[in-house]
Structure formats: C-alpha cells, structure tokens
Chain A
Amino acid sequence: MPTIEFSGKQLEVNEEGFLVHPEEWTEDLAAHLACKEEGLDAMTDEHWAVIRFIRGHYEANGSAPMVRSICRTTGVALKRIYELFPSGPARGACKLAGLPKPDGCV
C-alpha cells in the first residue's frame, strides 16, 4: 500500500491517492493535496467552502454529497465546480476532503 508523508507522518493512501484512513484527514493535509494532487496554486474561499461541505457531509452520512447539494449549500455554480477542481468533484474535491474513493464510474 503506498503512503504519502505529511507533517512527519506516513499516511496510507490507495494507488489513486485516496486516503485509506479518512479519519487522518486535516485541513492542512487538504491544502497540501490541493497543490500536490490537484495541481492548484492556492486554495480560495470557494475551494474551502466546497471541501468543508463535502467533509461535513461525509462525517455525518458516511458518503459523498450529490453535486446538487454542494452547489445549493455553498452557492458555487455548477460549472464553477469543474473549474475549481480540474479532476472533478470525485477524483478532485472528494479526494482533497479525505473521502475514500466513491463507487461507480469515477
């Protein structure tokens, strides 16, 4: 199982970079992954709004939210989501929010 090093700790990830232990996630890690995994220069307020919502939904429900909920709750327009996260909501935003890889064609 691959690992990534962050803040002096080895974190297990799957071969696609999703955290194996979602409870190890922190906001600092999200910022780190944003740069390393998603190629973002910096996290904006919009990025944080999306990531915090996804994370909160995951912690409450154990699953990723529908993109409709992301848009409605954060006020970020649908097309803007794909600009913010070039890999898309699943491989992009959900990965940065520390979720395990969702099932399905993603």
Chain B
Amino acid sequence: MPELDELEARLARLEPADFERGLAVFRGKLRGAEASYLETCVRCGLCADSCHYFRADHELKSIPAYKLSQVASVFKRHCTVEGRLASALLGAKSFDRAMARTWVEAIFGRCSLCGRCSLNCTTGIHIATVLRAARSALAEMGLVPSDLQSVVTQSLESGNNMGITKQDWIETVEWLEEELQTAVGDPGARIPVDKEGARVLFTVNPREPKFFPLSLQASATVFHAAKEDWTVASEGWDLTNYGLFTGDSVQAGAIADNLLRSMQRLGCRVLIIGECGHGYAAARWEAPEWLGREHGFEVRSFLELMEDYFREGRLKVDPDRHQDPVTLHDPCNLVRHGGVCEPQRTILRRTVRRFVEMIPNRAENFCCGGGGGQLAMARFQAKRVQAGGVKAEQIRRSGAKTVVAPCHNCIDQLMELNREYRLGVSIKTVAEIVADALVFDQPVGR
C-alpha cells in the first residue's frame, strides 16, 4: 500500500469531530507556559541555523519558527477569543484537511524532536515540546505514518518492538552466554535470566538480540568484569518506546509499564536502561507522566552505571587497545533532553588513547537525523539522509576513525550516513569500546 495515498485516504475520512478531538488533545498537552510560547515567537530567525534540517536544505519549511507557526496559527484560531473574532488579522488559520496535511509534513517529515531549536531560541520557546504536542493531536486523529505506528503496535501486541518470541529471546541469551564464556575464558560467566532479587535489571533494544548481539555481549562482558549482581527479564525486557515518537500517551504508558512490571516481578533495585536515547528519556522522565505515578525504584542509564564501576575501581582497562582517534555522538534524548552528558566522556577518556570531541558537542551537538522516529518512516528517508549531512560533516571534521554512539537508533542512522557520505568510520557503543579494552585479573598461581 503506497504510504502517501494511504495518508490521503485517512485525511479524506476525517470528520469535524476528529479535528475537535485532535485540538482537545493538543490543548491538554500544553501547560500554561507552553501555550504562551505560541504567542511569543518574534521571528528572529536564530532557530533556523540551530536546525539540522534547515542547515541541510535551506528551505523555509525547515525553519523551526515556520513549523511552530503552522501549529500556532491553528491554536490562535481555535483556542483564543481574538483569533476566533479576527482570524485574518492575527494570521489564525482553520484546522482543516490541508492544515492537517501540513502538520504531518512539518512535524513528522521535517522534525526529529531533537530540541536543539528550543535551546537556541532567544525567547525561550520550547519548540520541540509544542511540536510533540502537535504529534499527539495527529495521533488522536489517526494520522501517524503507518510504519511508525506499526512499531508501537508491535510493542503493544508482542511486548517488544520486533515481535521476538520468548523462546527466540531466551535462546539468543543462552547463545551469547556461551560466547561470553569463551571470550572471557570463564565457564562460570553468566547472563542471568529472571534472577529474583538481583540488584540490577538490565534492559535492551530488540535489535540487539535480533540482528546486532555484539553490543549485548559487550554489556554482559562489562557486568561480568564488574562482578555485578544483575539479570535480564524473560518478558518485559525491551527498553524502546516508540510511543514517545507518535505522541500517544496511553500507548506509550502501556509500553513503559512492561518494564515497570518486570521490576515488580523480579524485585530488582535499579532499572538500567541500555545504551539508548529515547528509551532512557521515556523510562526515566516520561513514564511517570504517562502513568501518573512515581517509580518506586531508581532508573538509570547504563552509562551512569559504568561510570560508577570506574569510580569504584571495578573495571580495569588498557587504553592502548584503542589507538585511533575516537569521537562521541550525543543522542538528543539522552543528552539534551535526558541530562546524561558526562559519564560517557569520563569513561572514554579512561578507555581510549585519543578522545576528540566533535564540534559542537554535549547539549549543543546536532541530531544524527534519525531521531524522533525518523528511521521508521520510510517516506521521509531522503530528507532524513540529507539532514544527516550535518552530522556526517561533524564526523569528518573530527578526524576520528571510530564514532561512539550510546544509542542504537543513532547507530543505525550513522551506519547509513557512513555509507552515503563515505565516511569510512566504525561505529560502536560505549560498552563495546569498554569491553574491547578490559583487562581481566589473572587467576592466582598462573
């Protein structure tokens, strides 16, 4: 089914009541301050250069203020008295099929919700927050691109976003356990499954067991070296939550609850989110909002945990194993939105010989272009790869041979950029870099 025609068919079916529901959801998502943002843009244009879409294509439609204005004009028309009375004067526009189509193109097609524009807005408008509220409205109206929605549906139906069966998951873990034992030369090395009362519950991205298990094996190697009391869960092990991207809070909450129920079932103390940007933001910051309750336990990134291990002297590494220059990508949801910025740097400075920052870095770093669900939406592929050109240039200028990305979603985009822009780099998780540098204590007497 051609995606474009399918979207047109969905637009054609919209009734006035659908628009009403969309607007109600949009309004409900905005707090007072965020609603006031819709009136405060002064068109200074500084956000243009903050956006990787605009920097790549220089099109008016890619300027964050333009995207915001499409949303704000609808808000003015339908949610303010003056807008209802004097819509033409105020640039207020009706929420109709054409405008809904404009929203889909602007908010799903030209935005990865990376939030760099919010950071660089002279009047402090949380543009990404407003645009995400607009995604929620589109979700309510059934206008989420079908391939993005299918990832959410897969999570809701099977408990993970790739539909991996429990048997396939367990067999893969057992296989990786054998690989781990061989790699570290210790037949006692374990990847515990459903170990009740373990201190740490470790969660993973389904693409690891399905297609890229080396990162999972690397994480297990780190746990083994640190002698952690840890486990994975046989069910409720998927850290991803594409509900964050569609904006449907009910579905997002249901997906987040999978992890929380695993914690409850196994009685673990710390929920560790493997290297993933949106998974961390979803579980750590958004889930309490969605579910209307606080976590009764700690939720942390694996990066924070690995930093602890180094500080506590539980990991010994030989940085000479990594001689080539290594640079670091900052996943938006982990760093700009999530606040986990320094642990990965502390770890890399100890683990590799030459760590070089890309410029800009940390909260000011650019999105890889694959965030906000972009990788799942095939129809925006060309735009995504074009917008990723900004990241490709950052990488090239760093001179690094290895790009470390603590996010599987970013890694997938970076792999594509690596090919498209002929960067010739290798792309790794932080755990893979650490695992390759680990030095194990020799048993006494050898």
Instruction: State the A residues within 8 Å of B (CB).
Output: 1, 14-16, 18, 39, 63-64, 66-68, 72, 78-79, 86-91, 101-106
Contact = CB atoms under 8 A, between A and B. Distances in A.
Interface in B165-188: 168, 171-172, 175, 179
A-side interface mostly: loop
Nearest to B206: A104
A103 B162 contact: yes
Contact of A14 (B175, B214, B378): B378
Interface size class on chain B is 35 or more
Given A87-B419, A105-B409, A63 B378 contact: no
B285 interface: no
A21 to B, nearest CB: 11
B99 to A, nearest CB: 25
23 contacts: A15-B381, A16-B381, A18-B378, A39-B419, A66-B168, A66-B210, A67-B212, A67-B213, A68-B171, A79-B214, A87-B419, A88-B211, A90-B211, A91-B412, A101-B378, A103-B161, A103-B163, A104-B151, A104-B161, A104-B162, A105-B161, A105-B205, A106-B207
Contacts of B172: 66, 68
B interface: dominant SS:
helix
B211 A1 contact: no
B175 A68 contact: yes
**Nearest 10 A/B pairs, CB to CB:** A104-B162, A15-B381, A89-B211, A1-B2, A15-B378, A14-B378, A104-B161, A103-B154, A105-B207, A105-B409
Contact of A68 (B3, B213, B379): B213
Nearest to A38: B419
A105 B419 contact: no
B87 to A, nearest CB: 37
Interface string B213-231: 1100000000000000000
Contact of A78 (B161, B214, B378): B214
Contacts of A90: 207, 210-211
Contact of B419 (A18, A66, A86, A101): A86
B381 A104 contact: no
A90 B382 CA distance: 19
A18 B376 CA distance: 13
B20 to A, nearest CB: 32
B39 interface: no
Contacts of B164: 66
A68 B172 CA distance: 6
Contact of B163 (A15, A63, A87, A106): A63
Contact of A67 (B210, B382, B412): B210
A15 B164 CA distance: 25
